[in-house]
Amino acid sequence: MKKNISHIDADTQGAPLKGIRGEMITFHEDPFLVEDESKCYSHYSDGLVVIQGDKILAAGDYMEVATFYPDLKDIDRYDNAVIIPGMVDTHVHYVQSPMIGSFGDTLLQWLNQYTFPTEARFRSEEFSRSVARLFMGQILKQGTTTANVFSTTFPTSVDALFEESERYNTCMITGKVLQDRNLPEPLRDISAEGSVAMAEELLEKWHGRGRQLYAVIPRFAPTSTPRQLELAGDLYQRNIDRGVYMHTHLDEADDEIEWALSLYPEAANYTDIYRRYGLLGPRSVFAHCCLVKEEEWQTLHDYDCSVAHCPSSNLFLGDGMFKIWEAKDHKRPLRVGVGTDVGAGTNFSLPRQLNEAYKVSMLKKHSMGALKCFYMATKGGAQTLHLEDRIGSLAPGYTADITVLDMHPTEFLKWRMQFNDFILDRMFILQTLSPDNLVRATYVAGKRVYDREREQQLLYAADL
Ligand SMILES: [Zn+2]
């Protein structure tokens, strides 16, 4: 007799069935909030994901799942690898790809010296397009299938990313960056009204077109006039029920906080600046949050805001230290994902961010194993973006965004892995050693868009 496992029957008139077979792990309850780890994940040493079109029909033990799909013949099989949900980058600036790794300094000097001149180049359609291509190629090679992305001032920078995302059929979130003071002329919005009208036009053009989603993005409080924040808050609030996002930076570094409060002296704290302009709510995502005060955590929780933890960026710029145990306090937990924050972040890889997140946490003696880490990079990231009903899990009905990590990506790792059997131990080794070729394959909406062993690795060439 067939076991009662969760699955969707194949549509006999629909697209052909496709399978992905290999060791597999997917995540359930939040391990930061649930003591019993066994409720937080399912692991199959020989797993099978069955896909039809862009949807997962079933995911589980190969022997159990295969019996429901006698017609399934087309199976990609991966040995010495682990199949996981596609990873989610909750904060990244694609427009900073050309200046990643620039010699650092404090946040504000780094912005003036490297970031602003680079972003000014995105007025050009051609330049925007070439960087968007490069960026999409890089994140797919690292197993990231959804990202919450900063573009810059110019609509060309927004169009270029969405167009490239549409080509791959990835779910991407971006929008025009709103910034009308305290930055050089080429990037500065001419007026608060004009800039927000431009953002609204882009929102109408892109939000909900295929898998593309729009975010209202004031860069951070110091680079917006009160009028621009007010109009941005109004645009976000008017579109909140349509699933539009708000994305910005918060409490990253000491001098930044001091500057923000000097420009908004009426605010009780940095979070309160955004609150006063209607910028807090579901789908509002705040990057960094390293130096958050208790009353701010409470406000962020009360408004159901999300946080993007960007450890490699925080270490690179010498900002504050993110306190995951505060963000996940059981009394007022927040949705927390991981962000690469390229170009202050030093790579496009989420597993490498997990390596840094672990170390940042350990500096204050809070240990964080692979379960918590990979939860944040997959289902936790989807929750951070309120997309946990469609991505971040290998389960029936979810979109088939899937990543395959190689357990033997290098000669040394192949040798090292023989000394551990437990899946979470091996995943911790992967995140800690995390070589550049860690990802074996990436699937987006059921299609293999990256295959490390294929001659043309990416489905579309990422030409510069
Ligand atoms: Zn950032």
**How many A from CA of 410 to the centre of ligand 1?**
32
Structure tokens at 334: 């927040």
Q: What confidence score (pLDDT) does residue 226 get?
A: 98
How confident is residue 165, by pLDDT bands cut at 50, 70 and 90?
very high
406-450 tens-digit pLDDT = 999 999 999 999 999 999 999 999 999 999 999 999 999 999 999
CA distance 251 to 101: 23
> How far does the centroid of ligand 1 lie from the alpha carbon of residue 178, in Å?
14
pLDDT higher than 90, residue 203: yes
Q: Verify that 287 and 264 share a domain, yes or no.
A: yes
Identify the band that residue 109 occupies on the pLDDT scale cut at 50, 70 and 90. Answer: confident
Q: Is the pLDDT of residue 107 over 60?
A: yes
Range of the domain at 436: 17-85+392-451
Preceding omega of 380 cis (within 30 degrees of 0): no
- Asked whether residue 295 is assigned to any structural domain, the reply reads yes
Q: How many helices (H) and strands (E) does the chain have?
A: 17, 16
Which of 336, 355, 384 corresponds to the end of one domain?
Answer: 384
In the reported structure, the alpha carbon of residue 150 is separated from the centroid of ligand 1 by a whole-number distance in angstroms of 8
What spacing in Å lies between the alpha carbon of 115 and ligand 1's midpoint? 11
* 397 assigned to some structural domain: yes
C-beta of residue 79 within 8 angstroms of C-beta of residue 36:
no
> Is residue 460 domain-resident?
no
For residue 400, report the distance from its CA to the centre of ligand 1, in Å.
28
Q: Compute, in angstroms, the gap from residue 59 CA to the centroid of ligand 1.
A: 35
Q: How far is CA 157 from CA 122, 149, 152, 177, in A?
A: 6, 11, 6, 10
pLDDT at residue 5, as a whole number: 79
Do 428 and 309 belong to one domain?
Answer: no
Q: How confident is the model at residue 2 (pLDDT cuts 50, 70, 90)?
A: very low
Whether 73 shows a pLDDT value over 80: the answer reads yes
Question: For residue 84, what are its two tokens?
Answer: 């996981």
The answer on 81 and 92 residing in a single domain is no
Q: Are residues 98 and 24 in the same domain?
A: no
Same domain, residue pair 272 and 366: yes
Contact between 303 and 335 (Cβ < 8 Å): no
Yes or no: say if 2 and 67 are a contact pair by the CB < 8 Å rule.
yes
328 falls within a domain = yes
CATH number at residue 142: 3.20.20.140
- For 227-248, the pLDDT digits (tens) are 999 999 999 999 999 999 999 9
pTM of the predicted model as reported, rounded to 2 decimal places? 0.97
Average pLDDT over residues 191-217: 98
Residue 1 pLDDT grade (very low, low, confident, very high; cuts 50, 70, 90): very low
Residue 3 pLDDT class (50, 70, 90 cuts): low
Query: Do the beta carbons of residue 30 and residue 381 sit within 8 Å?
Result: no
For residue 12, being part of any structural domain is answered with no
Q: Are residues 186 and 300 in the same domain?
A: yes
Q: In the structure encoding, which two tokens stand for residue 40, read together?
A: 């937080």
Mean pLDDT within 338-364: 96
Mean pLDDT of the chain: 96
**How far is residue 379's CA from residue 36's CA, in Å, rounded to a whole number?**
17
Q: Of the candidates 329, 364, 384, which is a domain's last residue?
A: 384
Q: Give the whole-angstrom CA distance, residue 464 versus residue 450.
A: 18
Q: Rounded to whole angstroms, what are the CA distances from 151 to 158, 232, 329, 408?
A: 6, 16, 32, 35
- Report the pLDDT value the prediction gives residue 266, as an integer from 0 to 100: 97
Nearest to 358 by CA among 329, 387, 400, 315: 315
pLDDT band at 463 (very low <50, low <70, confident <90, very high): low
Ligand 1 center from residue 286 Cα (angstroms) = 9
H or E segment at 365?
none
Query: What string of DSSP letters covers 246-283?
Result: EEEEES--HHHHHHHHHHSTT-SSHHHHHHHTT--STT
At 226, give phi and psi (nearest 5°).
Answer: -55, -35
Q: Are residues 140 and 215 in the same domain?
A: yes
Q: What are the tokens at 291?
A: 């130096």
Q: Are residues 256 and 339 located together in one domain of the fold?
A: yes
Q: 213 and 149, same structural domain?
A: yes
Q: Do 365 and 273 share a structural domain?
A: yes
CA of 371 relative to ligand 1 center, distance in Å = 26
Residue 464 clears pLDDT 60, i.e. is over it = no
Work out the average pLDDT over 312-336. Answer: 95
Cα 383 to ligand 1 centre (Å):
19
How many structural domains does the chain have? 2
pLDDT at residue 294 in the model: 97
Q: Cα of 43 to ligand 1 centre, how many Å?
A: 34
6 domain residue, yes or no: no
| 181 within domain boundaries | yes
Among residues 405, 324, 410, which one has the least CA distance to residue 84? 405
Q: How far apart, in Å, do the first and last CA atoms of the chain sit? A: 56
Give tens-digit pLDDT for 378-417. 999 999 999 999 999 999 999 999 999 999 999 999 999 9
- Assess if residue 439 is contained within a domain: yes
